[in-house]
Chains A and B, each alone.
Chain A
Amino acid sequence: MGLKSWFTESFPVDTDTLITLSSEPIPNHLKRWWWGLGGTPLFMFMIQVITGLMLIFYYIPDPDKAYQSVEYITYTSKFGWLIRSIHRWASNIMIAALLLHMLRVFFTRTYRRPRELNWMFGVTLLILTLLFGFTGYSLVYEQMSYWAMKVGTGIAGATPFIGPWLADFIRGGSEIGQNTLTRFFLFHIALLPFITLTFVGLHLYLIRTHGVSELKFPGDEKSSKKTYPLFPDHVYTELIIVTFILILLVCLSLLFPAGLGEPANPNVTPLHIKPEWYFYPVFRWLKITNLRVGVLGPIIFIILLYLWPFIDRFFEKRFPDREITFWIGLAGFLTIMVFLVWEIFGH
Chain B
Amino acid sequence: MKRRNFIRKTAVSLASLAGVVAVVSYLRQFFPRLAGGKRRIPLGDTAHFPVDTYTFLEEHNLFVYRDYEGVKAVSAVCTHLGCILEKSTDGFECPCHGSCYNDQGEVLSGPAPRDLSWYRVSRAADGKVVIDPGTIVSAGDKFLTS
Contacts and interface: CB of A to CB of B under 8 A. Distances in A.
Given A179-B32, A287-B110, A267 B83 contact: no
Interface stretch (A63-71, A86-94, A129-137, A170-178): A170-178
A151 interface: yes
A287 B97 contact: yes
A294 interface: yes
A168 interface: yes
Contacts of B113: 290-292
A180 to B, nearest CB: 11
Contacts of B84: 267-269
Interface in A282-297: 283, 286-292, 294
Interface string A284-326: 0011111110100000000000000000000000000000000
Nearest to A291: B113
B95 A154 contact: no
Number of chain B interface residues as a range: 20 to 34
A172 B84 CA distance: 21
A120 interface: no
Nearest to A271: B95
B132 interface: no
Nearest to B79: A291
A289 B111 contact: yes
A155 interface: yes
A273 B59 contact: no
Contacts of A201: none
Contact of B58 (A268, A270, A272): A268
B82 A154 contact: yes
A286 B111 contact: yes
Nearest to B97: A287
Nearest to B60: A267
A45 interface: no
Interface residues of A, number: 30
The residue among B34, B59, B80, B81 with the most chain A CB atoms within 10 A of its own CB is B81
A294 B83 contact: no
Contact of B97 (A268, A270, A271, A286): A286
Nearest to B57: A267
Given A151-B83, A273-B83, A174 B96 contact: no
Interface string A139-160: 0000000010011001100100
B53 interface: no
B59 A269 contact: no
Interface string B73-90: 000000011111110000
B81 A287 contact: no
B95 A269 contact: yes
A174 B111 contact: no
A173 B96 CA distance: 23
B82 A151 contact: yes
Contacts of A172: 30, 32
A106 interface: no
Contacts of A154: 80-82
A150 B85 CA distance: 14
B34 A173 contact: yes
Given A286-B81, A287-B97, 14 more contacts: A150-B82, A151-B81, A154-B81, A158-B81, A165-B31, A169-B31, A173-B32, A175-B34, A179-B34, A273-B96, A286-B111, A291-B81, A291-B111, A291-B113
Interface of B: 30-32, 34, 36, 58-59, 61, 80-86, 94-98, 110-113
Q: When A and B form their complex, which 6 residue pairs have the shortest distance between CB atoms, in order from nearest? A: A154-B81, A173-B34, A269-B83, A269-B84, A287-B97, A267-B58
11 contacts: A155-B81, A158-B81, A172-B32, A175-B34, A268-B58, A271-B95, A273-B96, A283-B97, A286-B111, A291-B81, A294-B111
